[in-house]
């Protein structure tokens, strides 16, 4: 079995596990408390006995960000880099464009990511685990060039 573990880092961190064989989300959680609440749930999802690709949304501080002086996402990214667990950090615009989750441009209800979350009966809540799934699906499509995921995103049947 091969999985992609997507992470949306922050004070409340979303994590989602995407199964490349079934093209379904098999786990989705939100971990509170920034880096302090991240590591234990991460290791519950990260199983080195399986082929797991880890991908985490990047964070670039710019004037357009709604920055509220919380750098939890940066701390999580630093930890992942330091542990040599993850080396791919797509910007939000990269994954949100192909998964149709752009704020003010897309209808979240029509996104394949929202449908996958609802079909698997995982709560969307504040959207952090949905964004984590978006990151995982982006990685499967754009980095791994996983054909079934590409077809899923294009709306074509397998």
Contact 62, 30 (CB under 8 A): no
pLDDT digits (tens, 9 = 90+) for 9-52: 999 999 999 999 999 999 999 999 999 999 999 999 998 788 99
Own/partner contacts of 83-89, CB < 8 Å, gap of 24 or more, are 85/46, 85/54, 86/7, 86/54, 86/55, 86/56, 88/55, 88/56, 88/139, 88/143, 89/55, 89/56, 89/57, 89/58, 89/59
What's the pLDDT tens digit per position in 68-91?
A: 667 899 999 999 999 999 989 999
Distant-in-sequence, close-in-space partners of 34: CB < 8 Å, separation ≥ 6? 10, 11, 13, 70, 72, 75, 76
How large is the average pLDDT for residues 150-157?
80
- Helical H segments across 5-146, by residue range: 34-45, 72-82, 92-98, 112-119, 128-138
pLDDT at 155: 75
Which is higher by pLDDT, 123 or 120?
120
Please tell me the predicted confidence (pLDDT) of residue 99. Answer: 83
φ and ψ of 16, to 5 deg = -140, 140
Task: List 14's β-bridge partners, or say none.
Answer: 8, 30
Whether the Cβ atoms of residue 106 and residue 100 lie closer than 8 Å to each other: yes
Domain architecture of the chain: domains with CATH: 2-57+71-154 (3.30.420.10)
Q: 60-85 burial, b for 16+ CB within 10 Å, e for fewer?
A: eeeeeeeeeeebbbbbbbebbeeeeb
Largest Cα span, the chain: 44
pLDDT of residue 63: 64
Give pLDDT, residue 106: 67
* Strand bridging mode 24-31 / 51-56: unpaired
**Neighbouring-strand partners of residue 2:** 51
């Amino acid at each position: 079995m091969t999985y992609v573990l997507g992470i949306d880092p922050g004070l409340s961190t979303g994590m989602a596990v995407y199964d490349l064989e079934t093209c379904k989300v098999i786990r989705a959680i939100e971990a509170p408390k920034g880096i302090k609440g991240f590591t234990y749930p991460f290791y519950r999802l990260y199983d080195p006995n399986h082929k797991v690709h880890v991908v985490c949304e990047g964070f670039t501080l710019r004037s357009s960000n709604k920055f509220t002086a919380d750098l939890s996402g940066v701390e999580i990214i630093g930890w992942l880099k330091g542990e040599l667990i993850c080396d791919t950090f797509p910007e939000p615009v990269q994954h949100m464009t192909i998964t149709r989750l752009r704020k003010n441009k897309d209808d979240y209800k029509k996104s394949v990511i929202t449908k996958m979350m609802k079909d698997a009966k995982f709560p969307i809540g504040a959207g952090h685990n949905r964004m984590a799934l978006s990151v995982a699906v982006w990685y499967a499509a754009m980095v791994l060039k996983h054909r079934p995921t590409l077809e899923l995103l294009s709306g074509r049947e397998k």
